[in-house]
Amino acid sequence: MDTSPLGKPSVFAQSLAWIGAVSGIALIVYSLVAAEGLWGRLGGILVGLAFIGPAAWWFYCAQQDKKKAAQHEEILRSHRELTALLGPDTPELVRGMGSVETPQPTDRRWPVVSAGAAVALIAGAVMMPAGDQPTNDVYRDCTDVWNELERPLEEGEPGYVRNLDADTDGVACEIDPR
């Protein structure tokens, strides 16, 4: 049982911090390995840091609270030992020792941490490329197909239309008209 005035961190908060940290690390690793271009990598790293930052801050504050609680317990133990040594004959001395102050939890500063995470998330999202967008291009003629793709167009590909497939075999613009 935890007798610390600071209490023990909730399992939910601890789980959330771990999820944030692991997700952030995974995003950063993915960005370094698979993201395209410098901006894509930097964007992914910033998004990962937006998850890691609050998680790391939570772990830091929880650790500080744990240290304060341990120091508080040590001071209380020492206070009890000294009171026992002085005995009941010296109540003035015991009162003169004063009382042990209850430690306060570490100031979490969540508004500042949240703002920093939001800035990193937005900046990272802006830096990341939009990704491949499906095209619904319809080419005017085979010259347009060859100028853009430099190859024939197969049925099922974006931009394929039957009027470009002269022999209706599923391959449009088989001959380079340029």
- Domain parsing of the chain, residue ranges: 11-127, 134-178
Instruction: Give this prediction's pTM.
Output: 0.66
Q: How far from 73 is each of 1, 2, 78, 86, 151, CA to CA, in Å?
A: 14, 11, 9, 20, 77
Per-residue pLDDT of the chain (178 residues; tens, 9 = 90+): 445 667 788 999 999 999 999 999 999 999 999 888 899 999 999 999 999 999 999 999 999 999 999 999 999 999 999 888 888 888 888 888 888 889 999 999 999 999 999 999 999 999 987 765 445 567 888 999 899 899 999 988 888 888 888 898 999 999 898 8
Torsion of CA 74, 78, 80, 84, to 10 degrees: 160
